[in-house]
Structure 1
């Protein structure tokens, strides 16, 4: 198993967060461009990513991979429903209605929302800095979602992105409370497998007809979101959490909307108004305040 420490260890979650930012831009191009719908993209992505995650888990924790107990299997199924099926269908569907930068900013609210949920459930003690950061992030969201010329904002897109954030909040709380003692690479494999299985009936019920509009670029992007922000991104994140801890890894979460905003501007022509840029800065500052408390 590879060993990482110091700066090298911090690069793992940083690269994972950047890869997730590219996922928002690729998803915006694919779903927003009408090439594929969010449900189908979720199914195809994790049908391709799950075997890759399995290979990684086998390499890192082969002695634990095929000896799961009932608790691991049961809670991994719940995580798959929330973190794979629910989160990704909500997230990709939101990208059909809003810019990648705005969608990524809304879903990044999962970090301060998780903190508030943990405080309410008695899992953490409230601190002034973290609480202020959570409130600042919420205030920033109001500015980001304010109707402005040139920006692509919709109520349905916001609700879908917020649904993704809430799915991730519950996912994170369950992971922390019920599966903290397990090897996270093994948890990720079973979560991804169950999530892929649960996406099949969602695809049958929700995916629109009419087929796909995929050329070489679109097919390459689907392979990319499966392999890089999918299998590689999750693996890098799990290794980073293992090597440098969850709190230090969480500091890099703001790189997700930041990467999405930069690439959305460069590749998709997306723009943020001055008011929305202020809101984005408040969201990122609030996230940093929440994770900095430790």
Structure 2
């Protein structure tokens, strides 16, 4: 195995691990929504992210400089991340987390490929088309579409549709990050812009009350959401978009709903039904097909 193949294999393994972490983050973020609004929770999340990520950048001896040509991409990415934070947590508060998680994770790769076709005039290959089809069928199986209630019956689930669209567009911007400096430095500045977009809408009284709380459920979940999920897993995802493109990176998201179901079974004792297993395996097959040479 040459150096390039080894690097690609490592990136694949790290991406799979990141998607497993994303799966765990769904119930964790649902717990957080009981403590505050999406804006207030976003303040804590991206505050911790900026601190933890800059420590990582210092450890990696990464320069924080970004080319001036990259500033428009940086501002767009940061603004979209702020919007995603609102729609994502808003969906968890007002919609169905299970159905919403599947909607976002199924539609994300499909929207990313559709956007890529429009922007780059690039048609998906045969393997990519088969993989996308597997992914859509996986989502339908996971939703148990043949016997479930209308997933759009709850208005909050529309937030998840917006989340998928916003994430797809944002991934396209972050895929250009390597052209303007280190992808990790780009990501730090992106989170900085995100926090700056959130601060004007913050309720600082509510923030002060949460700072004084001793509830370990809040602090444990907010640290997991920020340091583990965002600083490590999400930053890895954005790094991958700069290396393999937004479309292929987004395909790994098909793994998320299955990992969420498995860990809900292992940790919370929730039922792991046959349609979940079939949908999860199809999602994994989708990732394999889309990234197959």
The TM-score with structure 2 as length reference comes to 0.78
Q: Give 1 or 2: higher helix fraction.
A: 2
Q: How far 1:200 sits from its partner (Å)?
A: 1.8
Pairwise mapping of residues 194-209 of structure 1 onto structure 2 (< 5 A)?
194-204=193-203
User: 1:12·1:237 contact (CA, 8 Å) conserved in 2?
Assistant: no
Q: What CA distance in whole angstroms lies between the structure 1 residues aligned with 2:220 and 2:146?
A: 34
Distance 1:142-1:253 versus aligned 2 partners, 3 A rule: closer
User: 1:98·1:152 contact (CA, 8 Å) conserved in 2?
Assistant: no
Q: What CA distance in whole angstroms lies between the structure 1 residues aligned with 2:149 and 2:100?
A: 15
Selected match of 1:93 from 85, 90, 99? 90
Q: How far 1:227 sits from its partner (Å)?
A: 1.0
Residue of structure 2 in register with 1:131 after alignment: 129
Q: What CA distance in whole angstroms lies between the structure 2 residues aligned with 1:286 and 1:266?
A: 24
Q: What CA distance in whole angstroms lies between the structure 1 residues aligned with 2:150 and 2:27?
A: 15
Larger mean Cα displacement after TM superposition, 183-192 or 107-116: 107-116
Larger mean Cα displacement after TM superposition, 179-188 or 258-267: 258-267
User: 1:185·1:235 contact (CA, 8 Å) conserved in 2?
Assistant: yes
Q: What CA distance in whole angstroms lies between the structure 2 residues aligned with 1:286 and 1:51?
A: 36
Task: Work out whether 1:193 is the aligned partner of 2:192.
Answer: yes
User: 1:101·1:260 contact (CA, 8 Å) conserved in 2?
Assistant: no
Distance 1:138-1:188 versus aligned 2 partners, 3 A rule: same
Q: What CA distance in whole angstroms lies between the structure 1 residues aligned with 2:236 and 2:168?
A: 20
Q: What CA distance in whole angstroms lies between the structure 1 residues aligned with 2:255 and 2:283?
A: 12
User: What SS does the aligned partner of 1:188 have?
Assistant: helix
CA RMSD of aligned residues (A): 3.8
Residue of structure 1 in register with 2:259 after alignment: 259
User: What SS does the aligned partner of 2:226 have?
Assistant: helix
Q: How far 1:160 sits from its partner (Å)?
A: 1.1
User: What SS does the aligned partner of 1:113 have?
Assistant: helix
Distance 1:268-1:214 versus aligned 2 partners, 3 A rule: farther
Pairwise mapping of residues 94-133 of structure 1 onto structure 2 (< 5 A)?
94-108=91-105, 109-133=107-131
Q: How far 1:93 sits from its partner (Å)?
A: 1.9
Q: What CA distance in whole angstroms lies between the structure 1 residues aligned with 2:122 and 2:14?
A: 26
Q: What CA distance in whole angstroms lies between the structure 2 residues aligned with 1:18 and 1:240?
A: 16
Q: What CA distance in whole angstroms lies between the structure 2 residues aligned with 1:110 and 1:277?
A: 20
Distance 1:227-1:145 versus aligned 2 partners, 3 A rule: same
Q: How far 1:114 sits from its partner (Å)?
A: 0.5
Residue of structure 1 in register with 2:291 after alignment: 292
Distance 1:149-1:73 versus aligned 2 partners, 3 A rule: closer
Q: How far 1:20 sits from its partner (Å)?
A: 1.6
Q: What CA distance in whole angstroms lies between the structure 2 residues aligned with 1:90 and 1:145?
A: 24
User: What SS does the aligned partner of 2:156 have?
Assistant: helix
Q: How far 1:125 sits from its partner (Å)?
A: 2.5
Q: How far 1:47 sits from its partner (Å)?
A: 1.0
Residue of structure 2 in register with 1:70 after alignment: 68
Residue of structure 2 in register with 1:40 after alignment: 40
Q: What CA distance in whole angstroms lies between the structure 1 residues aligned with 2:84 and 2:194?
A: 10
Q: How far 1:56 sits from its partner (Å)?
A: 2.1
Larger mean Cα displacement after TM superposition, 12-21 or 268-277: 268-277
User: What SS does the aligned partner of 1:125 have?
Assistant: coil
Residue of structure 1 in register with 2:3 after alignment: none
Pairwise mapping of residues 137-176 of structure 1 onto structure 2 (< 5 A)?
137-142=135-140, 144=143, 146=145, 154-176=153-175
Runs of 5+ unmatched residues, structure 1: none
Q: What CA distance in whole angstroms lies between the structure 2 residues aligned with 1:16 and 1:276?
A: 20
Residue of structure 2 in register with 1:60 after alignment: 60
